[in-house]
């Protein structure tokens, strides 16, 4: 990332708004904003989520593994506005188990990029599928988008739910129902929110 170019662009944006940097408070804003975006909001570009996903051998016959309510925040690629919510992940191990905190790290590495929720959901599932080689993965994200709550239709409290799946969670309806139920999305109910 080029923080100097980001800072220059932010300065132009503020000038376009009508700010002329007359006060001390605003003079340092472009640098602060560039730093916040580079070091935090878009820090996922500097991370490889597959490297974050360490694993250990799974015991024979291991059942589903479910991690629910992983908080995430991302930036919508369409309006550069934030969206945030909860990620729920279920996988049916093959020969590998993920380290417990590692799934949260994968969610974080991929969400800290310019995203759309549908692509983010699929990318999380793809990384888990590649690295863990499970019998199935199901990822469900539910998030509130400020591009819908602060602008446009301004429907505060509305959430988008997206689901991606692989393996048995994609091909076997009963396994899929079980996974959806385990992550809190079964039988038409939506797991409690952000």
Structure tokens at 63: 């059942």
Return d(Cα 15, Cα 180) in angstroms, integer: 48
Determine the pLDDT at residue 192.
43
pTM (predicted TM-score) = 0.90
Return d(Cα 15, Cα 9) in angstroms, integer: 10
Structure tokens at 128: 């888990």
- DSSP-assigned beta bridge partners for residue 76: 115
Q: Which CATH number fits domain 49-188: 3.90.110.10, 3.40.50.300, 3.30.1130.10, 3.40.50.720?
A: 3.30.1130.10
Determine the pLDDT at residue 81.
95
Domain ranges of the chain: 3-41, 49-188
Residue 144, CB half-sphere, CA atoms under 13 Å: how many? 13
Q: Which positions of the chain have pLDDT values less than 70?
A: 23-24, 186-194
Under a CB-based contact definition with an 8 Å cutoff, are residues 121 and 164 in contact? Answer: yes
**Host H or E run for residue 31:** helix 29-36
pLDDT (tens digit per residue) in 105-153:
999 999 999 999 999 999 999 999 999 999 999 999 999 999 888 888 8
Structure tokens at 34: 């560039």
């Amino acid at each position: 990332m080029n923080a100097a170019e980001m800072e220059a662009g932010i300065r132009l944006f503020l000038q376009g708004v009508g700010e002329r940097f007359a006060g001390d408070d605003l003079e340092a804003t472009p640098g602060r904003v560039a730093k916040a975006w580079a070091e935090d909001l878009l820090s996922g570009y500097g991370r490889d989520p597959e490297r974050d996903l360490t694993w250990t051998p799974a015991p024979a016959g291991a059942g589903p593994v479910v991690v629910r309510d992983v908080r995430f925040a991302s930036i919508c690629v369409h309006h550069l506005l934030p969206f945030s919510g909860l990620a729920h992940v279920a996988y049916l191990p093959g020969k590998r188990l993920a380290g417990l905190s590692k799934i949260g790290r994968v969610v974080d590495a991929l969400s800290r990029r310019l995203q759309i929720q549908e692509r983010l959901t699929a990318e999380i599932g793809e990384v888990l599928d590649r690295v863990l080689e499970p019998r199935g993965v199901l990822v469900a994200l539910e998030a509130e988008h400020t591009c819908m709550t602060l602008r446009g239709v301004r429907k505060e409290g509305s959430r988008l739910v997206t689901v991606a799946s692989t393996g048995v969670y994609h091909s076997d309806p009963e396994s899929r129902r079980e996974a959806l139920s385990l992550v809190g999305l079964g039988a038409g109910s939506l797991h409690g929110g952000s």
